[in-house]
Amino acid sequence: MYVKQVFSIWRLLKGIWAGVVAVTAYATLVFYLFSYQNWHFLSFPISITTILGTALSLLLGFRTNSAYDRWWEARKCWGEIVNDSRTLVRQAAAFIVDVDQKEKDAVVSNIAHLQIAWCYALANSLRKTQVLVYADLHLNTQEHEYVSAQDNIPNAILNLIQFKLAGLHDAGKIQTLLYQNMDNTLQRLCDAMGKCERIKNTIFPTQYSFFVHLVIVIFTLVLPMGLVESIGRIAIPITFTISFLFFYVEWISYIMQSPFEDGPNDIPMTSLSRNIEINLLQLIGADKIPEKILPKNGVVM
């Protein structure tokens, strides 16, 4: 997730200011026509506004919950990736036997670097950016050539890890039962990748989003008509406040429904991948450990 710690007023209004300003101007026009031009037919019973507002609240609440469920599922997937990445390297360090320490360290180091490369590659592929940024730092020439020729680079990196473990098992350097445990870890990593790809490639129903937005527009048009007779010019700031709240909640649900779009409220996959990189390099005793990615302008990448 990209987590904003402090929202500026501009960022708060950026996605909704046009609608709020238009509704406020409309409310001002309704007040003027009702009060000074005697267009009393513009006054609606407040009960109509109340019923419409209640229905809108239910629809908007359901939409926001649905969007949050997508975001939270994506965050849980990356939580699983963090745990299983650590588990894979710990298993490699503990389960590989019948080799001298130097060879074992090289094999475990190779698995750790492949896993780090996989995390970065997955994050970049979900954001539709250059997939091998950061990942290429952990691949040798042969590995780089192999994965670059594949359509799904993260899946290709998992294949490299699988080939490495299968070779160790066939050589008798990993017991069958322990190899199955490591294979289960790889399967969980593949499952997490599939879940992320499903969220990325499944579009939130546009018909429902459009319907909710349409109801918000209708409600904000009816609202000043239901208020102008009873509270007069106060209907203008009241309309501004209520329309702002509804538009803002809709905007929140809109940006949360796509957690892999490289926006300020996305899952912080780059930061999580860097934390995985630090953890795994420390597990294998690497000399150079990168720094953590710190928030920039209140946003964690």
Has residue 189 got a pLDDT over 90? Answer: yes
pLDDT of residue 4: 39
pLDDT of residue 224: 92
Has residue 11 got a pLDDT over 70? Answer: no
d(CA 89, CA 286): 13
Binned at pLDDT 50, 70 and 90, residue 255 comes out as confident
Has residue 2 got a pLDDT over 70? Answer: no
Residue 44: HSE in the Cβ half-sphere, 13 Å Cα cutoff: 17
Assess contact for 197 and 126: CB atoms under 8 A: yes
Q: Taking residues 57-82, report their average pLDDT.
A: 94
Give Cα separations from 211 to 79, 123, 183 (angstroms): 34, 32, 46
Has residue 297 got a pLDDT over 90? Answer: no
Residue 92: HSE in the Cβ half-sphere, 13 Å Cα cutoff: 30
Query: Which has the minimum average pLDDT: 88-97, 119-128, 139-148, 291-300?
Result: 291-300
Has residue 6 got a pLDDT over 80? Answer: no
What secondary structure letter does DSSP report for 97?
-
What is the token pair recorded at 48?
Answer: 């109509």
Element (H, E) at 224: helix 206-231
Domain boundaries, the chain: 9-283
Tokens 């190899």 locate to: 179
Q: Is 212 helix (H, G, I), strand (E, B) or coil?
A: helix
Has residue 7 got a pLDDT over 50? Answer: no
Task: Write out pLDDT tens, residues 232-248.
Answer: 889 999 999 999 999 98
Binned at pLDDT 50, 70 and 90, residue 167 comes out as very high
d(CA 160, CA 22): 56
Question: 104 vs 19, which has greater pLDDT?
Answer: 104
Range with the largest mean pLDDT of 36-50, 73-87, 204-218: 73-87
Residue 110's CB is within 10 A of a number of other CB atoms, namely 19
Question: 186 vs 255, which has greater pLDDT?
Answer: 186
In DSSP terms, 299 is beta-bridged to: 296
d(CA 288, CA 159): 27
What is the token pair recorded at 245?
Answer: 């709240």
pLDDT of residue 40: 85
Chain centroid to Cα 224, Å, comes to 37
d(CA 117, CA 276): 10
Residue 301's CB is within 10 A of a number of other CB atoms, namely 18
d(CA 25, CA 28): 5
What is the pLDDT of the chain when averaged over all its residues? Answer: 89
d(CA 89, CA 107): 10
In DSSP terms, 296 is beta-bridged to: 299
pLDDT of residue 15: 60
pLDDT of residue 94: 94
Query: Which has the minimum average pLDDT: 40-44, 105-109, 136-140, 186-190?
Result: 40-44
Binned at pLDDT 50, 70 and 90, residue 14 comes out as low
What is the token pair recorded at 128?
Answer: 């539709």
Stated pTM of the model: 0.86
Binned at pLDDT 50, 70 and 90, residue 48 comes out as confident
pLDDT of residue 8: 42
Binned at pLDDT 50, 70 and 90, residue 13 comes out as low
